[in-house]
Structure 1
Amino acid sequence: MELPLETVALFALKLAYEREGESPILRDDPIMSDYEREVFGLLVRRGDIDAIQFRVAHCLGLAMEALGGAETPLGRELNRLAVDFSNARTMEHLDAPLIALKDYLKDIQ
């Protein structure tokens, strides 16, 4: 689960901060320090769903701003997927919405 969490954060931060013609944001960039696989791994091992959802929500909020908000077509879909993720109450229930977020963010890059 740690890798998809890191990937969602990476894709969201790419939408928010990456600009054409500039260096791409990579997993080892300083901007990813709070969203590294090891950080998510610790939270997953602890079963800290609230902290996981908080970190992901922060990244998704930045991506949402970059998309023009929840009123845009891309923003509406991202918002719907983010709500599904935030409504999960167990670690097992995070999987499906997490994969949907990852796939969506990858598709709109």
Structure 2
Amino acid sequence: MTATYRYLPDLHQEAAVQPDGILSRVLHNEGGVRTVIFAFDAGQELTEHTASRPATLQVLSGAGTLRLGPDTLEARPGTWAYMPAGLVHAIRAESPLTLLLTLLPKETPA
């Protein structure tokens, strides 16, 4: 059996910023791991919400504000965050913003 892979030479080509909108595109979904690229136009936001799975977030380009629980933090290229399941979070783009979200497998109780 030959293992398959997916190669993307430039993530920015996978998510063009849409005027006055938010684009999301699934890049990978296998084995309980789901990777989604997001592109936000300036002023767009995902309002406060939670997820049932832990996740990581990595900002690829642009600038924004990231809310993790009670904290409001800067989001800029190179920003990375781990979010446990159930954490209240939100993001607002101050300029066109691209980020990579990786949803991890649900944690199993010990």
Q: TM-score higher than 0.5 here? A: no
Judging by fraction of residues, say which structure has more helix.
1
What band does the TM-score fall into relative to the shorter chain?
A: under 0.3
Q: Which has the larger radius of gyration?
A: 2
TM-score for both structures, normalised by structure 1: 0.28
Judging by fraction of residues, say which structure has more strand.
2
